[in-house]
Each structure stands twice: as structure tokens, then as C-alpha cells.
Amino acid sequence: MSELHHLPPERPTAAAGRATDPGEAIIERLRAAGCVFAEDEARLLIAHAERFDELDALVSRRVAGEPLEQILGWAEFGGQRIAIDPGVFVPRRRSELLARLAIARARDGAVVVDLCCGSGAVGAVVMAALDRIELHATDIDPAAARNARRNLPDAATVYVGDLDEPLPRRLRGHVDVLVANTPYVPTAEIELMPPEARVHEPREALDGGADGLDVTRRVIAAAPRWLAPGGSVLVETSDRQAPALTDVVVARGLTSRIVHSDDLDATVVIGTKRL
């Protein structure tokens, strides 16, 4: 039995004879560091550690700004436990909207492409929901591609490369759903992000250029040559960027729709190729 199997409920303090719950002490450390969900994070860290010294090291890493998901080695996403390697972009809950919309537009046996796949979280949720999906995922970061291979079934194919560049040409005109969680933070706003993102996640997974849409424009430009008639490209963006992105979609000859989820605080722009 590990020494953390049961945390002692109380520990006497030297100062005033009061009793201090070690879990509460961890919560206070996390709160002081700005962790909004300190209670939940403390519970997860305690469950993850085997020894008190290990727990202290884990809490210190979190207090220093390392993402909780990279410390634990996994993230909860769309009902799936997604393995997260150090230095790989952590999937946000808002991206579950992207996965839901992809599932709604795909069908059993559909060809689905996931660009900027990161850990493979979106593709993993789509494949778990539908049968016989032919999934192709790409990321420019070799570490992210390795991480995605851990999370995706063997039937999926993962490529290292820039957006659609490594995709096989046979897919042109045959993709039913193309999803992309592109970087869309404007360059000037990167320094305003919390350290868990700007220090511990790759900048290329965050920086979308001057207006945040540089990479997304490239995805929209590439989409028509890959989509089957009636196929759709779905890209996550911010609420304020969505109107400008809609103009880009229309300029590429696709019909456009904006979907927003208040629950997830998420926005997705959809472009559909006409039949």
C-alpha cells in the first residue's frame, strides 16, 4: 500500500495547536498560484501520487504553471481519457463542439481528415462515435504526431507535415469532413496568456499571426480540393473572428455557417462544398 493510500485527516501545526488537513494545504497552495479549480486539481494530484515527496513535487510543478494535464499525463475530453505528453498542446473542453459537429456531419464509413490534430483528441472522439471511419490526421510537430498515434486506433493514419501537405492525393475530392483546430490567438496576445499555455505548450499551436487567422485561412483555401460534394470543413475560432472567417469561406466558393455553444463558450465556422 502506498503511503498516500490514506492521507491522514489531520496534522497538528506547530503554531497554535490547530489541526490542518494536508489536502487543504495543497488546495491553498494551488489557489494562491491562481488555480481556479484548486479543489478538483488537488484531488487529482493526490490520486496520482504514490508518496508524499512525489505529491509535493507534483504540486510544485503545478504551482510553477505546468498544465495539470501534462503533469497527470492525460486529459478528459469528450468522454475519453486522452494521453497527453509533455510539451504537447492540451485539448480544451470548448473543442468538444468541433468533435460533436464533425460526428453530426460524418456517417459510418466516412472519410475524415483532422488537420493540426495535436494529441488526436478530436479524431479519437469521432472514431469512438462512428463505425469504420477512415481517419487521416496531420500535425507539423513530430511530438504531437507521436502523441496522436497513442490516442488513435490503429485504423487511423497519422502524418507529420504542414496541414494537408502529407495527405495522399487519392483523398482529393473524397473527404466528407475536414476538421481543424488551428492556432487562432493573435501574435500580440500570446504574452497575455497564462504561463501554462505560453511557456509549456508549443507556440506554433497557439500563434495565429497578426489577426489570429493566418493558419485558418490556409486550411479554408485548401479545403475545396479535398472535400467531396456536400462535404464540410469545420474550424474552431473565436466569436469575434467568426465574421471575418465567414467571408474567407464564402470567397472560396463554400456555403458558410457559424455555430456557437454558450455552454462550451466555443465557436466553429463551417464551410460546405455545394453538391
Domain contains 28: yes
Residue 161: burial class (beta carbons within 10 Å; 0-12, 13-18, 19+): middle
User: Torsions phi, psi of 176, nearest 5?
Assistant: -85, -40
What CATH number should be reported for the domain holding residue 121? 3.40.50.150
Verify that 101 and 50 share a domain, yes or no. no
Whether 268 and 220 map to the same domain: the answer is: yes
* Cell numbers standing for residue 264: 462550451
**Domain count along the chain:** 2
Query: In which element (H, E) is residue 113 found?
Result: strand 111-115
Q: Percentage of the chain surpassing pLDDT 70?
A: 93
Q: Structural domain of residue 148, as residue ranges?
A: 86-272
Contacts of 128 (CB under 8 A, 6+ apart): 78, 79, 80
Residues 187-224 pLDDT 10s: 999 999 988 899 999 999 999 999 999 999 999 999 99
Is residue 58 in a domain? yes
Cα torsion 237, 239, 244, 250 to 10°: value is 70
Q: What is the pLDDT, as a whole number, of residue 17? A: 38
Quick check: is 119 in a domain?
yes
Q: How confident is the model at residue 267 (pLDDT cuts 50, 70, 90)?
A: very high
Helices (H), the chain: 22-32, 38-48, 52-63, 68-72, 96-105, 121-129, 142-151, 195-198, 214-226, 242-251
Q: Do 95 and 50 reside in the same domain of the chain? A: no
Q: Does 135 share its domain with 29?
A: no
Q: What angle do CA 117, 152, 148 make, to 5 degrees?
A: 40
Tell me which of 8-22, 118-132, 203-217 is least confident. 8-22
53, pLDDT greater than 50:
yes
Q: Which has the minimum average pLDDT: 109-123, 185-199, 241-255, 258-272?
A: 185-199
What mean pLDDT, rounded, does the chain reach? 92
Residue 198 lies in a domain: yes
**Under 8 Å CB-to-CB from 233, ≥6 apart: which residues?**
178, 179, 180, 219, 220, 223, 227, 249, 254, 270, 271, 272
Note whether 180 and 126 are same-domain residues.
yes
**Is the distance from CB of 85 to CB of 146 less than 8 angstroms?**
yes
- Whether 191 and 260 map to the same domain: the answer is yes
103 and 222 in a common domain: yes
Q: Is residue 72 part of a domain?
A: no
Judge if 268 and 214 occupy the same domain: yes
Report the C-alpha gap between 204 and 221 in whole angstroms.
19
Q: Based on the domain organization, do 54 and 95 belong to the same domain?
A: no
The answer to whether residue 166 sits within a structural domain is yes
In a domain, 18, yes or no: yes
Of the candidates 231, 29, 236, the residue with the CA atom closest to the CA atom of residue 118: 236
33 and 169 part of one domain: no
Give domain status of residue 73, yes or no: no
Q: Are residues 52 and 140 in the same domain?
A: no
Instruction: List phi, psi (to 5°) of 212.
Output: 85, 0
Query: What nine digits make up the cell of 232?
Result: 464540410
On whether both 163 and 120 belong to a single domain, the answer is yes
Burial class (CB in 10 A: 0-12, 13-18, 19+), 14: exposed
